[in-house]
Chains A and B, each alone.
Chain A
Amino acid sequence: SQPLAGRQAAELQSKVVPSKQILHSDNMEMEPETMETKSVTDYFSKLHMGSLVYSCTSKRKSK
Chain B
Amino acid sequence: LKLCRMEASCLELALEGERLCKAGDCRAGVSFFEAAVQVGTEDLKTLSAIYSQLGNAYFYLHEYAKALEYHHHDLTLARTIGDLLGEAKASGNLGNTLKVLGNFEEAIVCCQRHLDISRELNDKVGEARALYNLGNVYHSKGKNVASAGTHDPGELPDDVKNALQKAANYYEENLTIVTELGDRAAQGRAFGNLGNTHYLLGNFRSAVLAHEQRLLIAKEFGDRSAERRAYSNLGNAYIFLGEFETASEYYKRTLQLARQLKDRAVEAQACYSLGNTYTLLQDYEKAIDYHLKHLVIAQELNDKIGEGRACWSLGNAYTALGNHDQAMHFAERHLEISREVGDRSGELTARLNLSDLQMVLGLSYSTNNSMMSESQAVEKSLNGTRPRVGRRHSMENMELMKLTPEKVQNWN
Binding site for B on A (CB under 8 A): 1, 5, 8-9, 12-13, 15-44, 47-49, 52-53, 55-57, 59
Contacts and interface: CB of A to CB of B under 8 A. Distances in A.
B14 interface: yes
B406 interface: no
Nearest to B230: A29
Overall SS of chain B's interface: helix
A8 to B, nearest CB: 5
Contacts of A38: 48-49, 52-53, 74, 86, 89
Interface in B312-327: 312-313, 316-317, 319-320, 322, 324
A32 B229 CA distance: 11
Contacts of A25: 236, 269, 272-273, 276, 397-398
Given A12-B319, A56-B4, A56-B8, A23 B356 contact: no
B45 A31 contact: no
A13 B322 contact: yes
8 contacts: A12-B356, A17-B316, A18-B411, A40-B18, A40-B49, A41-B15, A43-B43, A44-B46
Contacts of B18: 39-41
Given A12-B357, A36-B93, 6 more contacts: A12-B319, A13-B320, A18-B412, A25-B269, A40-B50, A59-B4
Interface residues of B, number: 84
B380 interface: no
Contact of B360 (A8, A26, A29): A8
B30 to A, nearest CB: 15
Contact of A28 (B8, B48, B233): B233
Contact of A23 (B49, B313, B362): B313
B92 A36 contact: yes
Contacts of B188: 31
Nearest to A27: B397
A47 B408 CA distance: 65
B401 A32 contact: no
A25 B385 CA distance: 19
Contacts of A55: 4
B113 to A, nearest CB: 12
Interface stretch (B128-136, B157-165, B296-304, B335-343): B128-136
7 A-B pairs closest in CB distance? A36-B89, A29-B229, A56-B4, A24-B401, A38-B49, A31-B189, A38-B52
A52 B4 contact: yes
Contact of A32 (B14, B49, B92, B189): B189
Nearest to A19: B408
B278 to A, nearest CB: 11
Given A30-B196, A38-B49, A38-B86, A23 B276 contact: yes
Contacts of A41: 15, 18
A16 B379 CA distance: 21
B41 to A, nearest CB: 9
Contacts of B248: none
B89 A17 contact: no
Contacts of A17: 276, 279-280, 316, 320
B180 interface: no
Contacts of A13: 319-320, 322
Contacts of A1: 362
Nearest to B407: A18
Nearest to A33: B96
Nearest to A24: B401
A27 B395 CA distance: 7
Contacts of A49: 7, 11, 43, 46
A25 B93 CA distance: 31
Contacts of A21: 400-403
A40 B129 contact: no
Interface in B190-233: 190, 192-193, 196, 199-200, 226, 228-230, 232-233
Contact of A18 (B114, B196, B356, B408): B408
Contacts of A32: 189
A35 B126 CA distance: 11
B49 A43 contact: yes
